Amino acid sequence: MKLCKRVVIKVGTSTVTHSTGKLNLLRMETLAREIADLQSSGREVCLISSGAVGAGVGKINFPDRPKTLPEKQALAAIGQGRLVHMYEKFFSEYGKTVAQVLLTRDVFSNRLRYLHARHTLSTLFDFGVIPIINENDTVAVDEIKFGDNDTLSAMLACLIDADLLIILSDIDGLFSDDPRINPEARLLPLVEEVSKDLLARSRTKGSKLSSGGMFTKLAAARIVMTSGIPMIIANNKEPNILRRLLDGEELGTLFVPSGSPVQARKQWIAFGSSPHGRIVIDDGAAEAIRKRGKSLLPSGIVKVEGKFSRGEVVSIVDQDEVEIARGMVNFSSDEIGIIAGHHTDEIEKLLGSTDYDEVVHRNNLALV
């Protein structure tokens, strides 16, 4: 932990707001002081903060959790400015400058925008500025309806090549079972694999004003672990939590990354990109991709779904409809429909010309 220089810190709605929806100013001030101290020690810190919708609820005394999309977007618009204004006030007391960065999913799905965002954040670090990041809830329909800042924090950690992701919440970490239901549930201090069974047992929601829960935190852990980045879930109510974690104190749950991190390009293909279609493959092709690291050849393709062009990212699924990989295709959907099931030496005859033998080369293919 002491060697981690670039750190992403994500705080949930329960950290920065009271149950009433009003901003928790004491918690925000404490958080700003701790992050300012981390930066003064020579670290680069990026803060991802939920709470815009909750702050909007508190600002206009909205009676309950918003239910419709227009309500959520309007409350996010009201609350986001208030949220950042308070952060700016608290950080300035410690001589720190902050920058608001609002992101949408298309930043991660478009390679050029992805690189621009990476360069912008890197420059902010060079300037000694602390980026405060949130999803642009007012326009990001999918985020408000289905998404969460846990996933955003994981994708951002990959984007900037972070050394550590810390998710602060109102829980002590990952438990063997839901401690609110099972008093015998025990805290898991170390997790080396986020299994399907673990995900299935963790489909819980957070507070009434949040959009996440333990399931989304585990999904975030899978992303960063694959990319070689450790992640910690810890309780925001612990005093001096950030300094204690980065001093190596064993608090919360540490998710240990895999030994072979995915390359940055494959990170983008696997987690940043939005698939433009699907390719269904047979069992032989699925095994070759999963276990032997092979390219996808036309002979293993069963069918194509959707319309896409050369160079776009597609989802590769097996015959049980399980996504096993994403890849950047060398042929359009129409061309793949023609050569599907055929051997590579038949491509030129079927299409009139050929530039590639592989539909997706293994260098442009990432397991998910």
Helix axes 149-159, 214-226, angle to 10 degrees: 10
**Regarding beta strands 301-305 and 253-255, do their DSSP bridges make them parallel or antiparallel, or are they unpaired?**
unpaired
**Is 170 annotated for ligand binding?**
yes
Asked if residue 327 lies in contact with residue 360, where contact means CB atoms within 8 angstroms, the answer is: yes
- Token pair belonging to 75: 């409350």
**Is 309 annotated for ligand binding?**
no
**Is 235 annotated for ligand binding?**
no
Asked if residue 275 lies in contact with residue 324, where contact means CB atoms within 8 angstroms, the answer is: no
**Is 2 annotated for ligand binding?**
no
Asked if residue 336 lies in contact with residue 298, where contact means CB atoms within 8 angstroms, the answer is: yes
**Is 212 annotated for ligand binding?**
yes
d(CA 100, CA 191): 33
Q: One-letter amino acid identity for 328?
A: M
**Is 10 annotated for ligand binding?**
yes
**Is 149 annotated for ligand binding?**
yes
**Is 213 annotated for ligand binding?**
yes
**Is 211 annotated for ligand binding?**
yes
Beta strands in the chain (DSSP E): 6-11, 44-49, 98-103, 130-135, 164-169, 190-191, 231-235, 253-255, 278-281, 301-305, 313-317, 323-328, 365-367
**Is 50 annotated for ligand binding?**
yes
Closest of 138, 149, 186 to residue 16, by C-alpha: 149
**Is 22 annotated for ligand binding?**
no
**Is 126 annotated for ligand binding?**
no
Helix axes 111-126, 149-159, angle to 10 degrees: 80
**Is 96 annotated for ligand binding?**
no
Binding residues for ATP, by number, are 10, 169-170, 211-217
Task: Report the binding-site residues.
Answer: 10, 50, 137, 149, 169-170, 211-217
Annotated binding site for substrate: 50, 137, 149
